[in-house]
């Protein structure tokens, strides 16, 4: 078995058939599909059982509701493939994707993780966009993190991983933005990461999904995930660090504004450096707490003027 495909299932009667069909239609056939029914209270459990009866490559696991991370972790425990990937049950995969991606992995077995293109906000004419990548290999994980700005696309689903990377790694239960927590842990165990311009994952907007409904407390989880990444002392030495820091700074400002909490992001000095983003430079001059206060003041004035 070459590839294990894990699909958590919960309240997705309307989209599950499209999702599973996109796997069944793959031109690549050496896979197993693990459907993890996460205690779905609708007709999804019965649908999963039907799919299992139709194709011997499909496995179904029924469990009490534990959330997305718990469902993925259950799938990982059952996976038999040399490689593993994830698909969200709202989404679907172009039929030639795994054929092209797995061919590269077979030809270049030293690759630990491969990332392929993803269409974001599929079906939303105002927001739909394709996130594509060059055909490239990275033997330095920090270079991958900064050069490709991987911190902006930590999605679990547009990547294929060597299954052994998960021997000591699991998705964090009861956390949102679980992908941001997990990808850095996988990168620490990886020697080669590749990006490819082949294949396509279609991410479909879910109005009830966490990215659409996240409030201050959920954004705290996102902030904490990035703060964990900052524990790596080598980060600050990379030329892309200032831009990454501004990304975290924006999250910190949102958390402060939404929750009233004091900032927890540590300060770094960027004085004397070139090409420093404006907010990053400003934070080193006036401090993060004052920057958060300034951000709230500007937003308050803007709302009053509308």
- Report how many domains make up the chain: 2
State whether 220 and 206 are in the same domain: no
Three-state SS at 247: helix
pLDDT single digits (tens) 95-123:
999 999 999 999 999 999 999 999 999 98
State whether 117 and 187 are in the same domain: yes
- Cβ burial of 32 (10 Å; 0-12, 13-18, 19+) is buried
pLDDT given at position 60: 99
pLDDT single digits (tens) 42-93:
999 999 999 999 999 999 999 999 999 999 999 999 999 999 999 999 999 9
pLDDT given at position 3: 99
Q: Which long-range contacts (CB under 8 A, 24 or more apart) does 291-297 make?
A: 291/249, 291/253, 292/252, 292/253, 292/256, 292/257, 292/263, 295/253, 295/256, 295/257, 296/256, 296/257
pLDDT given at position 76: 99
pLDDT single digits (tens) 151-193:
999 999 999 999 999 999 999 999 999 999 999 999 999 999 9
Structural domain ending residue among the three candidates 211, 237, 261: 211
State whether 91 and 204 are in the same domain: yes
* Full residue range of the structural domain in which residue 219 is found: 214-305
State whether 193 and 226 are in the same domain: no
pLDDT given at position 240: 93
State whether 43 and 136 are in the same domain: yes
Sheet holding 193-195, edge to edge: 58-63, 31-38, 3-9, 83-86, 159-162, 113-115, 193-195, 136-138
State whether 197 and 262 are in the same domain: no
Higher pLDDT, 161 or 270: 161
State whether 205 and 219 are in the same domain: no
Question: Is residue 38 within 8 Å of residue 66, measured between CB atoms?
Answer: yes
Task: Find the Cα–Cα–Cα–Cα dihedral 184, 153, 207, 4, rounded to 10°.
Answer: -70
């Amino acid at each position: 078995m070459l590839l294990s495909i894990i699909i958590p299932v919960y309240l997705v009667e309307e989209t599950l058939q499209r999702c599973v069909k996109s796997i069944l239609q793959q031109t690549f056939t050496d896979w197993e599909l693990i459907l993890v029914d996460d205690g779905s209270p609708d007709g999804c459990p019965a649908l999963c059982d039907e799919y299992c009866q139709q194709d011997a490559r499909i496995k179904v696991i029924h469990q009490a509701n534990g959330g997305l991370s718990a469902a993925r972790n259950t799938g990982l425990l059952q996976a038999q493939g040399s490689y593993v990937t994830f698909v969200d049950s709202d989404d679907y995969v172009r039929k030639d994707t795994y054929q092209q991606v797995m061919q590269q992995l077979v030809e270049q077995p030293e690759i630990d993780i491969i990332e392929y293109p993803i269409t974001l906000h599929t079906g939303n004419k105002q927001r739909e966009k394709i996130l594509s990548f060059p055909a490239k290999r990275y033997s330095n994980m920090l270079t991958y993190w900064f050069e490709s700005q991987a911190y902006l696309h930590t999605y679990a689903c547009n990547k294929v991983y060597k299954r052994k990377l998960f021997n000591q790694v699991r998705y964090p239960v009861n956390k949102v933005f679980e992908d941001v927590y997990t990808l850095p842990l996988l990168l620490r165990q990886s020697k080669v990461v590749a990006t490819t311009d082949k294949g396509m994952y279609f991410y479909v907007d879910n109005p009830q999904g966490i990215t659409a409904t996240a409030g201050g407390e959920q954004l705290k989880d996102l902030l904490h995930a990035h703060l964990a990444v900052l524990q790596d002392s080598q980060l600050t030495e990379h030329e892309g660090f200032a831009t990454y820091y501004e990304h975290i700074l924006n999250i910190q400002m949102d958390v402060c504004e939404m929750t009233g909490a004091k900032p927890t992001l540590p300060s770094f000095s960027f004085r004397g450096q070139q090409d420093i983003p404006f907010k990053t430079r400003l934070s080193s001059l006036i401090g993060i707490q004052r920057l958060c206060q300034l951000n709230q003041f500007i937003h308050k004035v803007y709302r009053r003027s509308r």
